[in-house]
A and B are shown apart, each in its own frame.
Chain A
Amino acid sequence: MPEITEETVKKISRLANLRLDADETARFTEHLEKVLEYMRKLNQLDTTGIPQTAHALPKQNVWREDQVLPGLDRSEALAGAPDVRDDCFRVPRIIE
């Protein structure tokens, strides 16, 4: 029984700020179900005794010292902004 329905895809796309048309919704429903299918296959592996990990790399404790370095000039920082005003990124009004 498939776990991914069109409703799931609609919810996920809404959360991801993506607008999908009916065709795309159907296509991604199928794709995501295939991804889960693969996960179900992985789930069959016996992982008893293998510690849980959040990362594939055997690295840990990677850090830097608390040292300030100069960042971007403001003009550079704002170069990618869709719109600029008063040295700030200008975006559609946010209401709270």
Chain B
Amino acid sequence: MDQDYEIVIGLEVHVELATDSKIFCPCPTAFGAPPNTQVCPVCLGLPGTLPVLNRQVLVLAIRAALALEATPAEHTKFDRKNYFYPDLPKAYQISQFDQPLALRGIIEITTPAGPKRIRITRVHMEEDAGKLLHPGADGRLGTAGSSLVDYNRTGVPLIEIVSEPDLRSADEAYAYLIALKEILQYAGVSDCNMEEGSLRCDANISVRLRGDQVLGTKAELKNMNSFKHIRSAIEYEARRQIRVLQEGGQVVQESRLWDEEKGVSYPMRSKEEAHDYRYFPEPDLPVITISAEMCEAISQSLPELPQARRQRFRQKYTLNEYNAGVLTSSRELADFFESMVDCQAPAQAACNWLTVELLGKLNAEGRRITQSPVGPEHLAELVRMIESGKISGKIGKQVFAEMYQSGRTPEDIVAKQGLSQISDPGVLEKVVDEVLAAHPGPIAEYRNGKTQTMGFLVGRVMQASQGKANPKLVNQILKERLDR
């Protein structure tokens, strides 16, 4: 990236709220239903119907606003955003214009230069549109000239979160999205499932010479739903604009789409006048007054948020920044860890077993912590067995693999397979003596000053005990015998 230029990015993120029914009608919001099976006269925009607000939409939207440190409005209302598009059966989208749900929030992100606070302009509620399918590529006659519409998504509740143009690189935009997703998931506002389109992002991008106070002309990258794609799209778009300027041209204000396969952005072909939305107050929906009591109750029910939890993990459990970050990346994972600690597993060991062994396995299989076959109590029990010396760390891994496979408790596995660590000196002395009797050579070497031989002999003893011997005791006994 050319160092003379500064990139300025603002993001508009659309997030699907985790409700059972749609925002203005009782149709289900479940993902993946066959086309046009979750529709009714209201969301199909049939004449004579009236929308009624789903109260849970308001509750979740306020939750999101509070979690983002934004201030909910005392009075808020819905407006009509008018445009013609086949995915919008009413020819208007019910959204919010001049009295949005909440204003002025903050998301703190981590950058190489330290923490940075990104301002949020506003949070508002709106309904989603339907889904357009463009068949024809399959070569079937009669479909090439048409698009197909599935209205199941129409009326699914969304919030739009608009940031100030405070982001200065694709990496910062990426960090912002990760932080936003974590907060919304913690707050239980949305599952933020990218594959199902629960989180989509538009990026406003402009470039300017470093030191310039005026913003450059922006282009808007529309409708991206993968964080990685967003990062590459922003990088590409910024480079494109810099090149245009360097070649003496001007950036055109326009909407563009990202083609991930080709790695390029290109202008949308829809007409500009479509952006004259002629907002006006939605006459079918009365205004909303948000009481202080309602805000207070919602605020009380918010869980500890990622940033605060990360800080607490570092202090309370003396974990390093990296580990605290990994453990708090989702609420479920952080809960799992704290359940282990509640079950008396020492924090650092619990962190290691959870993040290295369990997450390693789960990630390899594409499973989430909530789908783990090993629960926090059992993993904590395993950690305790190792810490107390009942089994060795090496055997621990073996037991863990078995737990993961069978779902059995570590105690059960250790007992049934006789894996307990041997710490009985009498038993160990016998094994040590057998090993020494079989290896006169190394003994002589050791006594001639080649003390490294000790390691070899310890290995032999461990092997003879199938890994069950207490290594500390083995060392002790061996040393005694050899130095005699």
Contacts and interface: CB of A to CB of B under 8 A. Distances in A.
A80 interface: yes
Given A17-B84, A68-B21, A89 B286 contact: no
A92 B146 contact: yes
Majority DSSP secondary structure for residues of A touching B: loop
Contacts of B26: 64, 67-69, 71
A72 B134 contact: no
Majority DSSP secondary structure for residues of B touching A: loop
A70 B456 CA distance: 73
Nearest to A57: B286
Interface in B28-78: 28, 34-41, 43-44, 46, 52-58, 77
B27 interface: yes
Interface residues of A, number: 38
Interface of B: 19-21, 25-28, 34-41, 43-44, 46, 52-58, 77, 82, 84-86, 91, 99, 132-136, 142-151, 257, 268-270, 273, 276, 278, 281, 283, 285-289
A80 B150 contact: no
Given A64-B52, A71-B39, A89 B148 contact: yes
Contacts of B147: 90-94
11 contacts: A55-B77, A55-B287, A62-B285, A64-B53, A68-B28, A69-B26, A71-B43, A85-B135, A85-B146, A89-B149, A92-B147
Contacts of A57: 286
Nearest to B40: A71
A66 B57 CA distance: 8
A91 B86 contact: yes
Contact of A94 (B56, B86, B289): B86
A44 interface: no
Interface in A43-79: 53-55, 57, 59-69, 71-72, 74, 77-78
Contacts of A62: 52-53, 285-286
A80 B58 CA distance: 32
A55 B78 CA distance: 11
Contacts of A21: none
Contacts of B56: 65-66
B46 A66 contact: no
A88 interface: yes
Given A15-B276, A62-B52, A93-B146, A88 B36 contact: yes
A96 interface: yes
Nearest to B289: A60
Nearest to B277: A15
B20 A67 contact: yes
A3 interface: no
A95 interface: yes
B52 A63 contact: yes
B276 to A, nearest CB: 6
